[in-house]
Amino acid sequence: GLYIIKIPKERSSNIRPYVSKLLTYNKTVFNLTNAELVINAGYFDPNNQKTSSYVIIDKKVVLDPTTNKSLMENQAIKPYLNTVLNRTEFRVLDCQGETKYDITAHNTKPPFRCEIKHSIQAGPMIYPDLRLSREYFVAKDENGNVTRDSITALKKCARTAIGIKDGDIYIIIANIYHKVTLPELYRICEDLKLDKAMNFDGGGSTSLNYKGTGNPNFKNFEITSDKNKNARKLKSFLVID
């Protein structure tokens, strides 16, 4: 139930976000794009179908959480809104024609002579720092009691994560048969010796579709987090060719 997929730098993969105006299934995007691999990515509000995560495609902001009225007017979040809007994102950088990847806070400026070509936000940063409180996913009172755990970070759930190591990309999927907490996911990233890693939307959103090869040992396969394979409709995705 724990899947680790390495995408080597030498493969020169086309890695980009995909967004849907209306919520749709991971498998639908997989079929529409004819991609090799599609996973779920950013956060969204299932009630109004608005995004809770920034997404940039071809250097243009295509999803903006500040347009989500229910997020911006949430009284519990308002004191921490700047923190929420600055949560971690995965970036595809165009560095004078060379493609590089990064995982960093939304407001971080790209390196010198690099532009953000694509990005997709979720969070929190998992590795090398697990930023549960600093990205306002978890909050505790003065006695150390948990008063907020917005993504059940401290409980065992299905998870989707992405990491970087020496220019290679790592996709980590934990399904319902290998549920993990985010501290446990941190230790998985540590064992893999990743440079950086971040969390994508998980739980019921955890989804993966992979196009197999001619080898019968590598057939098409699908992962959904629900034991009955009833996938959840989603807003944003990461597509890999």
Give the model's pLDDT for residue 229. Answer: 64
Give the model's pLDDT for residue 102. Answer: 98
Q: Which long-range contacts (CB under 8 A, 24 or more apart) does 34-37 make?
A: 35/211, 35/239, 35/240, 35/241, 36/210, 36/211, 36/240, 36/241, 37/5, 37/171, 37/208, 37/209, 37/210, 37/211, 37/239, 37/240
pTM across the whole model:
0.95
pLDDT in 10s for each residue of the chain, 241 residues? 999 999 999 999 999 999 999 999 999 999 999 999 999 999 999 999 999 999 999 999 999 999 999 999 999 899 999 999 999 999 999 999 999 999 999 999 999 999 999 999 999 999 999 999 999 999 999 999 999 999 999 999 999 999 999 999 999 999 999 999 999 999 999 999 999 999 999 999 999 999 977 777 777 889 887 766 678 999 999 999 9
Give the model's pLDDT for residue 214. Answer: 72
Per-residue HEC secondary structure of the chain comes to: CEEEEEECHHHCCCEEEEEEEEEECHHHHHHHHCCCEEEECCCEECCCCEECCCEEECCEEEECHHHCHHHHCCCCCHHHHHHHHCCEEEEEEEECCEEEEEEEECCCCCCCCCEEEEEEECCCEEECCCCCCCCCCEEECCCCCEEEECCCCCCCECEEEEEEECCEEEEEEECCCCCECHHHHHHHHHHCCCCEEEEECCHHHCEEEECCCCCCCCCCEEEECCCCCCCCCEEEEEEEC
The half-sphere exposure of 7 on its side-chain side, counting CA atoms within 13 A, is: 19
Q: How many CB atoms lie within 10 A of CB 3?
A: 15
